[in-house]
Structure 1
Amino acid sequence: MDQENVSATLTVAAPAARVFAVLADPATHAAIDGTGWVQEPADRAPLTEVGQVFRMDMYHAKHPDGDYRVANKVAVLDPPRAIGWLTGTEGEDGRLELGGWIWRYDLTPLGPSETEVTLTYDWSAVPRFRREYIQFPPFGPEHLINSLRHLAELAAPTSADRTT
């Protein structure tokens, strides 16, 4: 495969600021995830700055340990237009080893209550040695659109929102 990224786009029935707030909350990431790998946030603070690190507990049947933890470093933060993070691991000394892939959400307001959201998974910076044991992308094409559908459900206004 020559292309080293995959993207999906969906129109979400919610304002961009609301969609962005859902994405900036690590506690929502397990519910957004279209693979079921993301389990629980180890850090629950909202994402507020580039360079911020947040950790997630994960599970993957093909991972050597099954259960594992990733460390994500915020690389893009432009509320309410874009948010993205690099994923890797954190050593016992606190040093991050990023894998070379990034998750990025781009939000385009289509009006006061609709947002076009594009989710991109880009692995173009993954080093050759890592590509020898991880196939990219490590999930099927349905993952991105499933994640966007989950995001749309989480960001949708509730009946309480509509009455205020």
Structure 2
Amino acid sequence: MTEPERYVVTHTIAAAPGAVFAVLSDPARHKDTEPGDWVRDAIDPQPITGTGQIFAINMFLPQAGGHYVMHNLVSEFDKNRTIAWIPGQLDEAGKHNPGGWWWRYDLAPNGENTDVTLTYDWTGTPQSFRDQVGMPPFDKEFLAESLAALDRSVK
């Protein structure tokens, strides 16, 4: 068994867990949590309410062919504590086909603040996709910048 391929970064945000979680559970706000222009608008801006839900986001990445849609399957949902999703694509039957990577946010109260730990894991990404896009497609600093963007969006 190989070691997990992942980045884990923690950042303290001067807001209560509920305020942070409100941004993370709103697909329309996800573009506000990314430091660049990769994440675009939500196709269906309905809030995330539980595991098993799929939310779709318009994306842009040159090495992935430009514009595309990412369908994210919510894999963990514990209101104001944890939210995670597995990006992938839907086949013609509407079945979610995971890409092999996942995102997870863990929120922990810290006085009047919230410690947010962001995990990005690409352990299950197929070699063919790794060859096409390069995995991970960013460095660990991208996660720190993403958490800083989340911090700005909560205020």
| TM-score, scaled relative to structure 1 | 0.87
Distance 1:39 1:27 in 2: 9
| CA-to-aligned-CA distance 1:117-164 (integer Å, 9 cap, x gap) | 0111011222344333332211122210111011111112xxxxxxxx
Unaligned stretches of 5+ in structure 2?
A: none
**More deviation, 147-156/89-98:** 89-98
CA distance, structure 2, for counterparts of residue 53 and residue 87 of structure 1: 9
Corresponding position of 1:53: 54
- RMSD over aligned CA atoms reads 1.6
Alignment of 1:90-129 (within 5 A): 90-111=90-111, 113-129=112-128
Matched-pair contact (CA < 8 Å) for 1:35–1:139: no
Deviation readout 1:45-64 (Å, 9 max, x if unpaired): 11101000000001112222
In the other structure, the counterpart of 2:32 is 31
Identity of aligned residues (%): 40
Shift of 1:2: 5.5
Rounded to whole Å, the distance in 2 between the matches of 1:116 and 1:36 is 25
Does 1:41 pair with 2:42?
yes
Q: Structure 2 CA distance, aligned partners of 1:38 and 1:105?
A: 17
Q: Which runs of 4+ in 1 moved over 6 A?
A: none
Q: Which segment is superposed worse, 134-143 or 123-132?
A: 123-132
Q: Distance in 2 between matches of 1:100 and 1:7?
A: 17
Amino acid at match of 1:154: S
Local SS of the residue matching 1:117: strand
Deviation string, structure 1 residues 8-60 (Cα, Å, up to 9, x no partner): 11100000111011100001101111242111100111110100000000111
The separation in 1 between residues aligned to 2:101 and 2:35, in whole angstroms, is 17
Query: How many residues are aligned here?
Result: 154
For structure 1, the residue ranges without an aligned partner over 5 or more in a row are 157-164
Higher-Rg member (1/2) = 1
Q: Hey, what's the Cα distance between the residues in 2 that align with 1:126 and 1:33? A: 21
CA distance in 1 between counterparts of 2:123 and 2:78 reads 22
Taking the aligned partners of 2:44 and 2:123, their CA distance within structure 1 comes to 27
CA distance in 2, matches of 1:3, 1:34: 25
Taking the aligned partners of 2:151 and 2:32, their CA distance within structure 1 comes to: 11
